Amino acid sequence: MGVFSGSSLATLSGEVSNDDENYPTISTSRVVLAATAGVTYYIAVDGFYDGTTVATGNVQLTWSPG
């Protein structure tokens, strides 16, 4: 999972990312971002494919005012 900012695909800049926090005990990705007002952020979520099993799961977005 990653959060990016930028004005076009070619200029995206990674803000924060995580790939399976505490793997293999917990296969969960979590990121925390202190967002800046007026900036557009793009969230990318992808699954893990081990060659036989397709990843499934849920995405939960939680935010709170600063």
Residue-level pLDDT at 57: 79
Count of other CB atoms within 10 angstroms of residue 11: 9
Look at residue 51 in the predicted model and tell me its pLDDT.
80
Full-model pTM: 0.73
Task: In whole angstroms, give the CA distance from residue 61 to residue 29.
Answer: 12
The predicted-structure confidence for 11-66, as pLDDT tens digits, reads as follows: 999 999 988 766 566 677 888 899 999 999 999 988 777 788 777 778 888 888 76
Indicate the length of the chain as a whole number.
66
